[in-house]
Structure 1
Amino acid sequence: MAGRIAEILEQAVADGAVPNAVAIVGDRDGVRYEAAAGTLSPTDDGSVDGDTVYRIMSMTKIITTTAALQLVEQGHLDLDAPVETYLPEFADRKVLSGFDGDEPQYRDPASAATVRQLVTHTAGHGYMFFNEDIHRWEEVTGYPGILSGERRMLDAPLLFDPGERFEYGINTDVLGAVVAAVAGRPLDVLVTEGILDPLGMRDTTYRLTDAQRSRLTPVQVSTPDGWVDSGVEYAQDPELVPGGHGLYSTPRDYLRFERALLRGGELDGRRILQEATVRQMFSNQIGALDFPAEIRSADHAYTEDFLAGPGWKWGLGLLLNPQDLPGMRRAGSGSWAGLCNTHFWIDPQAGVVAGIYSQTLPFVSPGALQMYQAFEQAVYAEVS
């Protein structure tokens, strides 16, 4: 397997699909395979490896969700309570109903969004790169954007009544604010003390040390002259510690978190969640709703169209495939990704966890997606 995975990554770099890539596979007991290809940056020809630091973007979300579930287990947070119970300002949240010229129009939501709906992306929020209406709203209102680090990035309107459908958006950023409010402590402190330190994830952080920054690969974009640094970066020392993005990590470090979930919430004798809670994470939490079969891009600089296919579900922080994917992950696997083309999955049935890391825009570019799929197929070619 390791040789085949290395070939896939090397070919993807040679073809110009990505400037670098690291792939890692593990199980309950540890790392099984690891491979890498490409250089750290356009100005540093050092090789990437499992300790290279990546901006994991929305792979932060499942860690924020875990912090919320820890509060649920402690009896401090009710998933079915209205968000405004913990964030009173959320009571003023309106639904964007349209535009009069460049003037946004709003209405009251039909019901109050719950914390569970934040976790399941059914509360009503969206992302500008996947929704034309919120894209336009951001342009005409001067909204600071999700990477701004400003607390007012939470003030975006809803796009529909809570519970009406699944739509991916800033829900987990709002969830992070809920978690911090309930605990009375900053989100990054809670994440570090409750998840990262117990799991020994020393390279997963909101704030890089100088040593970690020396291992950081930039977000790159493809140009006729080759790959160049896009300059995309998280806000440093943000006013709002974001729950939906913001973490840096490494392939080896993040695999420890994946393995903890595979093991029912425990790793190396340190438990971060109860087994019953982890089972809920891997169970359908959106009922008859489906994860969208197609999510069309509203801004191709950030993402291409995301085509999942019909029938996928969402758990507590994880995308779930109810059926086996031929030659790939088994039914009941949980997965997600980051905007800059980092991906992971956890397959309880096969006992496999894996991740593949690059650092490019747009998301799910054809070359990066093809590499990801080939990697997964190579893994399962040897999984009994």
Structure 2
Amino acid sequence: MQDKAMQGMSRARLERVEQFLDATYVASGKLPGALVQVWRRGEVVLNSVLGMADRERQTPLAEDSIFRIYSMTKPITSVAIMMLVEECKIALDDPVSKYIPSWENLGVYAGGYMESFQTRPAKRQMLVVDLLRHTSGLTYGFQQNSNVDAAYRKLKIADRTTEGTTLDDMVEQLSKLPLEFSPGEAWNYSVSTDVLGYLVGKVSGMPFETFVKQRILDPLGMVDTAFHVPEDKISRFCACYAVGVLGSKVVSQDRPTLQDDPRTSPYLKPPTLVSGGGGLVSTAADYLRFSRMLLQGGELDGVRLLGPKTLALMTANHLPGGQDIPRLSRSMFSEATYDGVGFGLGFATTVTPASTLMPGSAGDFFWGGAASTFFWVDPQEDLIGVFLTQLLPSSAFPVRRQLRTLVYSAITEPGPAARGRGA
């Protein structure tokens, strides 16, 4: 029987995606549920919904389930700052201290602990572009790689669960801590994008969350994306799980509060610290709309957020010397760990497909979230993939790599740009 094709993709091979995810991850209990959408040549060619939104309550996952997208918030925040760059309200080569004067003389860690840090002068000031590409010298507390990381943990830097802490408070706390390295010297996954959220508010003259809603979410029709889950949508909000110690069984981490569960999820009310690095919740339909805007050069359904040249700039590799992440990284963690992958202005980008040892295209771009969510956009193939689940940490299983392999293996008609290059 001849295999039917959909938008240049094999129907039978696309069905492998669902079969693999179900057999390997959902039925086996490794993931509570999984939702994957694949878009190609103007339509959804795969829409698979598997497993549970809440295992304990036996709530099935649904197409409109709401997920914590964690670091998939970062591309949205990056688009926000680039909209302001287009309006010449801020520039990529502006010193960050132009907007945060207390950061003008941030030192670089040279020794000691939080109460007695020793520092040396930075070789240059931190620039706005350093925040976008994670070469700022900032870090994340969960890295557990240095005494600076330990200070972030102690102060709960960028922790949305800390009552009363705001973006202003976070910026003030960071002004008292040293950098891990001089800006531009290395790549380190960090709270940089949270600082970008602060800059969006500072430069636009409106709260960061208001800018995101009025300038991005509402125009794109992303009706279920927000920094908290309103009461009328709690029934659609997934529970979140985590892999136990030493890879033991998956355990409940954060569940929506209902009458039979007294625990309170921090996502059920507006946060005081609005995290541009990881604070949003969203749905597959919403994030696909955002991804389609990126694929189409900054425009969707007559709404233009960015110009195509700006998107081209964002998806180029901005790491110093054209290096890839593994060679420039000092980070203990990244949502991308592959050779041949650089970093643009808000997301990773494939520079050398052969070095990744995965099918893909030069110039495809992507990122993921802490609860194993993932998206990628491939302009050469007119292709988008959105994968949503709720399992911490994202490094627990190689599901992202496997998903990409399965989807690319279903392509039967390469895109025009890829056809002549074999990439």
Q: CA deviation at 1:211?
A: 2.9
Aligned ranges 1:165-244 → 2 under 5 Å: 165-223=186-244, 226-231=249-254, 234=266, 236-244=269-277
- Name 2:340's counterpart in structure 1: 311
- Name 2:170's counterpart in structure 1: 153
Between 97-106 and 180-189, report the one with greater CA deviation: 97-106
Q: CA deviation at 1:352?
A: 0.4
Structure richer in helix, relative to its length: 2
Measured in 1, the distance between the counterparts of 2:138 and 2:113 equals: 21
8 A Cα contact 1:57 1:245, kept in partner: yes
Measured in 1, the distance between the counterparts of 2:19 and 2:63 equals: 17
Measured in 2, the distance between the counterparts of 1:166 and 1:372 equals: 22
- Name 2:316's counterpart in structure 1: 283
Q: CA deviation at 1:191?
A: 0.8
Which of structures 1 and 2 has the bigger CA Rg?
A: 2
- Deviation track 1:268-296 (CA, whole Å, cap 9, x = no partner) reads 11111101101111112123143125978
Measured in 2, the distance between the counterparts of 1:225 and 1:373 equals: 22
Q: TM-score, normalised by structure 1?
A: 0.90
- Name 1:361's counterpart in structure 2: 392
Aligned ranges 1:1-384 → 2 under 5 Å: 1-11=13-23, 12-27=25-40, 29-99=42-112, 103-133=116-146, 134-139=148-153, 142-148=154-160, 150=165, 151=167, 152-154=169-171, 155-156=173-174, 157=177, 158-223=179-244, 226-231=249-254, 234=266, 236-288=269-321, 289-292=323-326, 308-324=337-353, 328-366=359-397, 369=398, 371-383=399-411, 384=413
Could you list the runs of 5+ residues in structure 2 that have no partner in the other structure? 1-12, 256-264, 414-423
8 A Cα contact 2:26 2:33, kept in partner: yes
Q: CA deviation at 1:94?
A: 2.9
The secondary structure found in structure 2 opposite 1:356 is strand
Amino acid of the structure 1 residue aligned with 2:388 = Y
Amino acid of the structure 2 residue aligned with 1:318 = F
8 A Cα contact 1:293 1:307, kept in partner: no
Between 97-106 and 4-13, report the one with greater CA deviation: 97-106
- Deviation track 1:324-353 (CA, whole Å, cap 9, x = no partner) reads 355522111001011111111110111101
8 A Cα contact 1:333 1:346, kept in partner: yes
- Deviation track 1:61-114 (CA, whole Å, cap 9, x = no partner) reads 110010001111111111111011112232253322221597332333222101
8 A Cα contact 1:42 1:228, kept in partner: no
Q: CA deviation at 1:239?
A: 2.8
- Deviation track 1:295-326 (CA, whole Å, cap 9, x = no partner) reads 7886xxxx7x8672333211111101112355
Decide whether aligned partners of structure 1 residues 19 and 270 sit closer, same or farther in structure 2, where only a CA change above 3 A counts.
same
8 A Cα contact 1:341 1:364, kept in partner: yes
Amino acid of the structure 2 residue aligned with 1:373 = R
Amino acid of the structure 2 residue aligned with 1:121 = H
Measured in 1, the distance between the counterparts of 2:273 and 2:249 equals: 35
Measured in 1, the distance between the counterparts of 2:337 and 2:283 equals: 26
Let me know the Cα RMSD of the aligned residues.
2.4
- Deviation track 1:39-78 (CA, whole Å, cap 9, x = no partner) reads 1113221221331111111110110010001111111111
Q: CA deviation at 1:137?
A: 2.3
Q: CA deviation at 1:267?
A: 0.8
The secondary structure found in structure 1 opposite 2:381 is coil
Q: CA deviation at 1:183?
A: 0.6
Amino acid of the structure 2 residue aligned with 1:282 = T
8 A Cα contact 1:332 1:347, kept in partner: yes
Measured in 1, the distance between the counterparts of 2:193 and 2:203 equals: 15
Decide whether aligned partners of structure 1 residues 259 and 101 sit closer, same or farther in structure 2, where only a CA change above 3 A counts.
closer
Amino acid of the structure 2 residue aligned with 1:230 = Q
8 A Cα contact 2:111 2:119, kept in partner: yes
8 A Cα contact 2:324 2:341, kept in partner: yes
Amino acid of the structure 1 residue aligned with 2:20 = I
Measured in 1, the distance between the counterparts of 2:118 and 2:182 equals: 15
Measured in 1, the distance between the counterparts of 2:194 and 2:114 equals: 30
Could you list the runs of 5+ residues in structure 1 that have no partner in the other structure? none
Q: CA deviation at 1:31?
A: 2.0
Between 374-383 and 185-194, report the one with greater CA deviation: 374-383
Decide whether aligned partners of structure 1 residues 337 and 234 sit closer, same or farther in structure 2, where only a CA change above 3 A counts.
farther
Measured in 1, the distance between the counterparts of 2:119 and 2:228 equals: 37
Measured in 2, the distance between the counterparts of 1:254 and 1:98 equals: 43
Corresponding residue pairs, total = 374
The secondary structure found in structure 1 opposite 2:223 is coil
Q: CA deviation at 1:26?
A: 1.0
Measured in 1, the distance between the counterparts of 2:109 and 2:57 equals: 46
8 A Cα contact 2:187 2:330, kept in partner: no
Amino acid of the structure 2 residue aligned with 1:287 = P
8 A Cα contact 1:82 1:115, kept in partner: yes
Between 241-250 and 99-108, report the one with greater CA deviation: 99-108
Q: TM-score, normalised by structure 2?
A: 0.82
Between 2-11 and 194-203, report the one with greater CA deviation: 2-11
Measured in 2, the distance between the counterparts of 1:74 and 1:102 equals: 42
